[in-house]
């Protein structure tokens, strides 16, 4: 089981689903959510400058692409920069409803993206991911 994961999506129902499905399949202890890329970066910034001694940081990120304020691609461009070097060892899973082939092609250019999955999140999907990241 992972310690902490981050779900970035502007749709509260998707976030609710993520939380419930992840909880049921014992995928992660803690689920942090953010409504867009900026909020997510803000979360990392707080982690960086907070005085808490806890070493816990997201190990996996579920990322949506189309979001207001800051979309998935823009988030990735910031997140993969040196400013977030202590966090960007985490893997990113794109979880989207897009069918645009350009998005798929673009995803292949980011080594940090380990998979591109279609919504909705399911328990089967999480089982598959567990195998992929070597939790089982």
In the complex, the residues that contact another protein under the rule CB under 8 A are 11, 13-14, 17, 20-21, 24, 66, 96-101, 118-123
Rg (CA), the chain: 14
- The burial class, CB within 10 Å (0-12 / 13-18 / 19+), for 58 is buried
Handedness of CA 99, 105, 110, 115 (dihedral sign): positive
Q: Provide the minimum distance between the beta carbon of 65 and another protein in the complex, in angstroms, as a whole number.
A: 9
Q: Provide the minimum distance between the beta carbon of 96 and another protein in the complex, in angstroms, as a whole number.
A: 8
- Residue 34 vs 47, nearer CB to another protein: 34
- Residue 17 vs 112, nearer CB to another protein: 17
Measured distance CA(117)–CA(52) in Å, rounded: 34
- Residue 78 vs 119, nearer CB to another protein: 119
Q: Provide the minimum distance between the beta carbon of 13 and another protein in the complex, in angstroms, as a whole number.
A: 5
Q: Provide the minimum distance between the beta carbon of 67 and another protein in the complex, in angstroms, as a whole number.
A: 11
């Amino acid at each position: 089981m992972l310690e902490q994961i981050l779900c970035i999506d502007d749709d509260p129902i998707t976030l609710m689903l993520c939380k419930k499905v992840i909880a049921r399949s014992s995928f992660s202890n803690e689920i942090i959510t953010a409504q867009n890329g900026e909020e997510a970066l803000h979360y990392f910034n707080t982690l960086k400058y907070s005085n808490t001694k806890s070493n816990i940081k997201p190990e996996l990120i579920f990322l949506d692409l189309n979001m207001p304020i800051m979309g998935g691609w823009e988030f990735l461009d910031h997140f993969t920069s040196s400013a977030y070097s202590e966090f960007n060892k985490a893997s990113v899973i794109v979880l989207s409803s897009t069918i645009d082939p350009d998005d798929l092609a673009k995803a292949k250019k980011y080594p940090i993206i380990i998979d591109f999955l279609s919504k909705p999140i399911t328990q089967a999907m999480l089982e598959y991911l567990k195998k992929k990241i070597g939790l089982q």
